[in-house]
Chain A
Amino acid sequence: EPEVTQTPSHQVTQMGQEVILRCVPISNHLYFYWYRQILGQKVEFLVSFYNNEISEKSEIFDDQFSVERPDGSNFTLKIRSTKLEDSAMYFCASSPRGDHNYGYTFGSGTRLTVV
């Protein structure tokens, strides 16, 4: 079964540092997403990406966040200057279409710890 791969699985960074979380979506998928889950809380939508541009973003996704698909296979989330409250699990997801007919495939996540 095809998988969404995320690296690293765990990253520790100091407050104020930049981090890049990486994802390799399923190869024939066209829509890409980032979600996050703070420990003990809900899974929250951050951003959706299609045709090399952001199609929707949440209030969480402020100017400190950016996404990129640099080479046609990787999909990255960058946080420019991390804050303590950015500590969370970050999940990448992809789907073949923009609708929900087949569900989305999520990766196993990157646990980001900001100290």
Chain B
Amino acid sequence: LAKTTQPISMDSYEGQEVNITCSHNNIATNDYITWYQQFPSQGPRFIIQGYKTKVTNEVASLFIPADRKSSTLSLPRVSLSDTAVYYCLVGDINLGLTGGGNKLTFGTGTQLKVEL
């Protein structure tokens, strides 16, 4: 499993764009990058997933450079409700197709605090 490194915390203000970078220098060829969000006293929530270049959905964008050794989660125009912990996970998403499922390994994540 590729080791990931993220900032422990970030602060921002409402309306700003927030970029959280995750380093994963030993990412393997079959690994994808997945981001989860966790609000206090709630379970993690899947945000976005990608393999290379750029992925965008209604919540966020994920930028992955050609060497894939890092990735950046971009949250456009954050609000107070985006205050949460954001986790970067790297792994082979196709593991488990044989029937066993595949566990998620969470790191400490990045605590994003959005203020007025």
Contacts and interface: CB of A to CB of B under 8 A. Distances in A.
Contacts, number: 91
> Size range of the interface on B?
20 to 34
Contact of B103 (A42, A56, A92, A111): A56
A35 B38 CA distance: 13
Contact of B38 (A43, A97, A105): A43
A51 B101 CA distance: 10
Contacts of B38: 43
Contact of B100 (A55, A101, A108): A55
Which residue among B43, B44, B94, B106 has the maximum number of chain A CB atoms within 10 Å of its CB? Answer: B43
Contact of B32 (A35, A58, A100, A105): A100
Given A42-B107, A43-B38, A99 B100 contact: no
A31 B105 contact: no
Interface in B25-76: 32, 34, 36, 38, 41-46, 49
Contacts of A51: 99
A51 B46 CA distance: 24
A56 B99 CA distance: 11
B95 A33 contact: no
Interface of A: 4, 31, 33, 35, 42-45, 48-51, 55-56, 58, 89, 91-93, 95, 97-109, 111
